[in-house]
Every structure is written in C-alpha cells, then in structure tokens.
C-alpha cells in the first residue's frame, strides 16, 4: 500500500483517536480498514461488483447513494475517483497532486477534466503539502481560504542494524512507480556515470510487467548498467524498512510530486536521501538531503558519488534526517482537519 492508501489510513487512525468530533467512516464491507469505537462508527458498503480501481463512475454512484442516506453534516471524500458534489451537502475532499494536469494535454482525459470541475465546486480542499496547496490555488483559481494544508505524518521505526541486509552488497534504492514524472530514466543515466562506484541500483515497486521488461532490456543492452540494476517488485513494510536501513541512499529523481512520501519514510527510517530540487521535496527534507536539478544526470551522479565516498557526510545526513522526521507528525494534520470540520459543522465555509 502506497501513496493515497497510506495517507487515508494514517488520517483515519488519527481521527479515530479523538472524541471531540464524531466520525462516520465509510468503506467497503469486504475490506473494513478499521474498527470504530463510540462516538465514532463505521458504515461498510457491499461492493456489489464495483472494482477497486476500474470504472470510477460506478464508485461515484456508490458514493452518491451513501451520501443520500447519511445523516452526516459534512462529507470528506479522500478518494479522487469517488468525488461527488451532491446538492445541499457540505463537501470536503483531499487533493494529493495535480500531476496529470501538468503532464500535457495527453494526460487531461475527459474524466480528469470532470474531476477538476467537481474539485472547484467543493467547499474545502485539503492539500497534502504547501506546494500542492499553492498549485491548487494558482492552477485552478481556487480561493486561498478554501484550501487547508494537512501534511501526512510518518512513524519513527526502531533501527535494527543487526538485521540481515535484504540485498547483498552496496546499493542505491529507488522506491516508486515507473510513471514518467518519476524520472527513472535520469536515474539510470546517473548510474551509468558512476560505473566506478560499488553500488548498484535497487528498485522497489509493483511495476506492470511491460515496464519491468523494458527496464531489463535497457539494463541488459548497456554495459554500464548490466548486472547493476535489480527490480524487486512489491516489498512488505518490514522489507522496505530493511532496505532503508541497508542502502547507501534513497534516491528520488521526480520531476513533480504532491508530497514525496518515500523521502519522509526514508528519513524516518534513518536513511540518507538524495532527491531532485523540487519545492515540495525541499519542504519535506528541509535541507537534510543532497539535491540536484531534476534534468541533470551529471548533478545526480555527483550527489551519488558524494554520498558513496564520504562516509562522514552520509552519517551527517542520516542524523539530521532523523531529527527532521521527528517533526513530521500527524498532530498538525489532525488539528487542521478537525478545525475545518468544526467550521463546516458550525455552518461556516462554502456549500
């Protein structure tokens, strides 16, 4: 579970921990995400053939039906595919990014344009980073007062250096998808420029098979990459933690992001981090990572070389990252979310 799912479950757990605002949690009956206790309650909908990721129109039909019979004064929809804006209902939603909008017209499908239209009519929009909030305001012309920043928090896991390394030898770690905005091609180019380093590139992520095959073809065809790139596929949370602990550095070369969860998780786990110099990633790392221009393989290679050869630098990054991660808690997100709930329940905000 990555990205949206991680955020939603984290926020739900925080909302469940408080008693001030009663919450009615909605989810699917075949996969109840939590067990609410009073004053909260859960309402688990039968799926009735509605798939998890395909046919979002069916998901919105299910959401509209639930909204019609619920007595909740405010509805907060955390799944972009489920966003509906029924009449006479105070609606809130969470925006994770506007990446498809910035990828060009080919990414702006009619369905996505309709989503943006619905988004603009929602009373309160929660953004998972300041950068995403500013993007919503500037790109969609949403008034600043309707956008609330609610950043995700991360847990600080215990470090166990005695655990066996999940991958033999030294390696750089990339965690994420093969989507174009993730900029994996630049990372491969940088690895090619670092043939003298002992590290290989390890990739963790549940990629479609065609993307895995394309990666293998690229690596096998290039002597500078051959036997230096390994794709692990999906890894469990415990396996990911072990990878964070044993890698030389976590590398995130993205061209655009909504938050940058791997950066936050890696810092919390005690890994050195190298990321592209995006405002949103800088917001997360707060100067505790090595950064590079997202279009420069040469700059990225220089960062990889530094973190590989300068052990003092690497340990300094790790120490500072752990301190930074301790400030990335859910407390602020919970307080901001509850504050927005109270305003809406009291009749404030926009219908």
> pLDDT confidence of 34, banded at 50, 70, 90?
confident
Residue listed under structure tokens 């953004």: 127
Report the first-to-last Cα separation within the chain, whole angstroms. Answer: 33
The per-residue pLDDT for 50 is 62
Domains of the chain, each with CATH number or no CATH: 3-153+330-345 (3.40.50.2000), 171-325 (3.40.50.2000)
Mean pLDDT along residues 221-233: 96
Mean pLDDT along residues 251-265: 95
pLDDT 10s digits, 191-204: 999 999 999 999 99
For residues 285 and 297, is the Cβ–Cβ distance under 8 A?
no
Interatomic CA distance for residues 25 and 335, integer angstroms? 18
The per-residue pLDDT for 281 is 97
The per-residue pLDDT for 257 is 95
pLDDT 10s digits, 264-288: 999 999 999 999 999 999 999 999 9
Chain length of the chain: 351
The per-residue pLDDT for 56 is 79
pLDDT 10s digits, 126-158: 999 999 999 999 999 999 999 999 999 998 887
> pLDDT confidence of 351, banded at 50, 70, 90?
very low
Q: What is the dihedral of CA 305, 306, 309, 315, to 10 degrees?
A: -140
Interatomic CA distance for residues 303 and 272, integer angstroms? 11
The per-residue pLDDT for 1 is 45
Mean pLDDT along residues 231-246: 92
What percent of the chain has pLDDT above 70? 93
For residues 216 and 245, is the Cβ–Cβ distance under 8 A?
no
Q: What is the mean pLDDT of the chain?
A: 91
Mean pLDDT along residues 58-82: 89
pLDDT 10s digits, 167-177: 899 999 999 99
pTM score above 0.85: yes
pLDDT 10s digits, 293-348: 999 999 999 999 999 999 999 999 999 999 999 999 999 999 999 999 999 998 76
Residue, of 34 and 303, whose pLDDT is higher:
303
CA 48 to chain centre: 29
SS (H, E, C) the chain: CCHHHHHHHHHHHHHHCCCCCCCEEEEECCCCCCCCCCCCEEEEECCCCCCCCCCHHHHHHHHHHHHHHCCCCEEEECCHHHCCCCCCCEEEEEECCCHHHHCCHHHCCHHHHHHHHHHHCCCEEEECCHHHHHHHHHHHCCCHHHEEECCCCCCCCCCCCCCCCCCCCCEEEEECCCCHHHCHHHHHHHHHCCCCCCCEEEEECCCCHHHHHHHHHHHHHCCCCCCCEEEEECCCHHHHHHHHHHCCEEEECCCCCCCCHHHHHHHHHCCCEEEECCHHHHHHHCCCCEEECCCCHHHHHHHHHHHHHCHHHHHHHHHHHHHHHCCCCCHHHHHHHHHHHHHHHCCCCCC
Return the closest-CA partner of residue 194 out of 265, 241, 249: 249
Q: Where is average pLDDT lowest: 82-86, 121-125, 342-346?
A: 82-86
């Amino acid at each position: 579970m990555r990205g949206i799912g991680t955020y939603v479950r984290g926020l739900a757990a925080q909302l469940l921990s408080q008693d001030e605002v009663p919450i009615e949690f909605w989810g699917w009956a075949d996969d109840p995400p939590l067990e609410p206790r009073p004053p909260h309650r859960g309402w688990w909908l039968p799926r009735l053939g509605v798939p998890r990721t395909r046919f979002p129109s069916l998901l919105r039909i299910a959401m509209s039906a639930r909204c019609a019979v619920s007595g909740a004064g405010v509805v907060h929809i955390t799944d972009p595919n489920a966003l509906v804006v029924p009449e006479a209902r105070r609606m809130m939603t969470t925006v994770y990014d506007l990446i498809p909008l910035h990828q060009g017209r080919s990414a702006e499908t009619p369905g996505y344009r309709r989503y943006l239209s619905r988004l603009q009519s929602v009373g309160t929009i929660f953004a998972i980073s300041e950068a995403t909030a500013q993007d919503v305001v500037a790109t969609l012309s949403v008034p600043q007062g309707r956008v609330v920043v609610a950043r995700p928090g991360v847990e600080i896991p215990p470090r166990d250096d005695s655990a066996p390394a999940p991958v033999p030898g030294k390696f750089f770690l990339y965690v994420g998808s093969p989507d174009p905005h993730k900029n994996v091609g630049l990372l491969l180019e940088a690895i090619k420029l670092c043939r003298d380093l002992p590290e290989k590139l390890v990739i963790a992520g549940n990629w479609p098979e065609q993307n895995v095959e394309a990666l293998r073809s690229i690596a096998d065809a290039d002597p500078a990459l051959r036997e230096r790139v390994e794709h692990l596929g999906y890894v469990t949370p415990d396996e990911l933690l072990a990878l964070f602990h044993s890698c030389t550095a976590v590398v995130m070369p993205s061209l655009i992001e909504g938050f940058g969860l791997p950066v936050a998780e890696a810092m919390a786990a005690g890994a050195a981090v190298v990321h592209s110099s995006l405002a949103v990633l800088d917001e997360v790392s707060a100067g505790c990572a090595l950064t590079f221009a997202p279009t420069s393989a040469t700059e990225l290679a220089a960062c990889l070389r530094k973190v590989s050869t300068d052990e003092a630098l690497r340990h300094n990054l790790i120490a500072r990252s752990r301190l930074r991660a301790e400030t990335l808690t859910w407390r602020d997100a919970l307080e901001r979310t509850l504050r927005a709930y109270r305003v809406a329940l009291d009749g404030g905000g926009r219908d």
